[in-house]
Structures are given as structure tokens and as C-alpha cells.
Amino acid sequence: MRLLFIGDVVGRAGRSIINAELPKLRAAWGLDFVIVNGENAAGGFGITEAVCDEFLAAGADCVTLGNHAFDQRDALVFIARQPRLIRPVNYPRGTPGRGANLIEAASGARVLVVNVLGRVFMDALDDPFAAIERELKACPLGIGCDAAVVDFHAEASSEKQAFGYFVDGRVSLVVGTHTHVPTADCRILAQRTAYMTDAGMTGDYDSVIGMDKEEPVRRFTTKLPTSRFEPASGPATLCGVAVELDAQGLATQVAPVRIGGRLAEARPAFW
């Protein structure tokens, strides 16, 4: 199975490169399953139903979220009726939507997608380690699903790495989101789970983590907010990670993906 995970899409610039590149990548690479993190896709904060539908129409099979999951008010309503939109599983009981779902790939394979929110330097939610343990017991790899992907939306690289080792051999891919900078540690762990600390941002890198530079710099230098954060609107880079899986749903190859914009290009050599 061929999987592509695309990191946090920020604003219109990020959406534009998804619409331009994802259909071509899906065809050229023969992708079986694509996940897009869309928690910053609508104006830099949250997601709307129209934006979610736009990603699915472009070729995404699933859209994950994070700590900005409900920044757009209509997300509270449409998330309940959209089974391909996944919010963090460790939100409190009664939160609208799903933290995990089993979604059919183009090949007919069953892919478990789980979105988990970290706790270090983040809002204090339920224990992410206990939450993933429950999900994997309910739907174990090779029995309940043919592949399992975890979007671990967290700030601290130490928490992300510990989480990767905790589920090694029990999921196909653990990929970090939230910090918006692609890391250089894309690898396959000892028990054959693919891992990357952060997939990076899909947006304009002439920015401060996707936002126009002026206001963040002003706030750091004066400690005074003078205007709203606005997403940068220049040429975007599509960032993510590509993974090839074997019949057991474990990783055989993994590589970073960077296309367009300002970062050095990276494409999987094995596709």
C-alpha cells in the first residue's frame, strides 16, 4: 500500500497547492490513501465544511485536525456528519465528531486513522498514550485494519518521539504535526513503524509558521498585539511524508515530501 500524509495546510496558499498538486501526485505515484491535516486551512485557524470538501475532492481520503479543530463555528455541526474528518481522540467525552475512524482505501484496504493531541506545552487533555492504547486494542493492525496511521499533533519533539516508540510495530505510520517545520528524522523504527517528528507545513514559508511576518515580529518585539494574524499568501510548499507498506501493514520505505515554494524539493525515490 502507498500512503501520503500532508502536513498542516495553512490558509489559501496551502489550499491552492493542494488543489494544484494532489491530483497529479495521486495519479503519478499510484497512491492508495492520502491524509491531509487541515486544522489551519480556513484563514489560518480551523476548517470549514467547504474547505474539507475541497480537500476530499482534490484526492484526500481523510482530513485530520488538532488544537484549532473548532476555531470555525460550523465545525461543531458538520464534523458530526463527515466521517472522513477526524479530530483529536483525547478531547473530553461528548465532544462532537470522531477521534478515530476506519476508512476504505482505493484498493479496498481498511485504514485506521487516529488523531491525537499531545499535552506538553499544549492544553491539558486526556492522556494521549492511554487514548491510543484504547484505539489499538479496539482495532489492532492486521486484525481490525490493514493499515493504521496516527497524526500526533503536539509541540514537544520528546513527546512525539516517545509516542512513536510506544506504538512501534502496532501502527503503520506515526507522524507529528503542529510545529509547521519539517524535521529531518524520517525513518522506520525497529518494529517497522514509519516515523517523522513533524511533517511540516503546507503553506508559504516566507512567514512565521504560515502567518504574515509583520504581526508576529511586532508582538515578539513590543509584546503588544496591534492586528490579527493573517496567513501569508505567497507561493506555498507542499510538505509531508510518503510511506510504502507491506502486506502486514508495516513500513518498508519512507521519505519526506517537499514540493514547490521556498524549500529544497524532496520526492520519494522509490515511486
The per-residue pLDDT for range 145-186, each reduced to its tens digit, is 999 999 999 999 999 999 999 999 999 999 999 999 999 999
Q: Is residue 141 part of a domain?
A: yes
Q: Is residue 268 part of a domain?
A: no
Report pLDDT for 124. 84
What's the domain range around 35?
Answer: 2-201+233-259
CATH number reported for the structural domain that contains residue 112 in this entry:
3.60.21.10
Contacts (Cβ under 8 Å, ≥6 apart) of 27: none
Q: Is residue 23 part of a domain?
A: yes
Q: What is the per-residue pLDDT across 189-223, written as a single tens digit (0 to 9) for each?
A: 999 999 999 999 999 999 999 999 999 999 999 99
pTM: 0.97
Rounded distance between C-alpha atoms, residue 229 and residue 211, angstroms:
6
Sequence length of the chain is 271
Give the DSSP letter of residue 59: T
Q: Is residue 187 part of a domain?
A: yes
Rounded distance between C-alpha atoms, residue 139 and residue 144, angstroms:
5
Q: Is residue 208 part of a domain?
A: no
Q: Is residue 207 part of a domain?
A: no
Contacts (Cβ under 8 Å, ≥6 apart) of 31: 2, 3, 4, 25, 59, 106
Give the DSSP letter of residue 260: S
Structural domains of the chain, count: 1
**123 pLDDT tier (thresholds 50, 70, 90):** confident
Residue (of 212, 206, 209, 196) closest to 266 by Cα position: 196
Q: Are 102 and 145 in contact (CB under 8 A)?
A: yes
Q: Is residue 142 part of a domain?
A: yes
Q: Is residue 122 part of a domain?
A: yes
Question: Which residue numbers belong to the known binding site for Fe cation?
Answer: 8, 39-40, 67, 153, 178, 180
User: Is 68 among the catalytic positions?
Assistant: yes
Residue (of 124, 119, 114, 214) closest to 160 by Cα position: 119
Question: Which residue numbers belong to the known binding site?
Answer: 8, 39-40, 67, 153, 178, 180
Pick the catalytic residue: 2, 12, 26, 68? 68
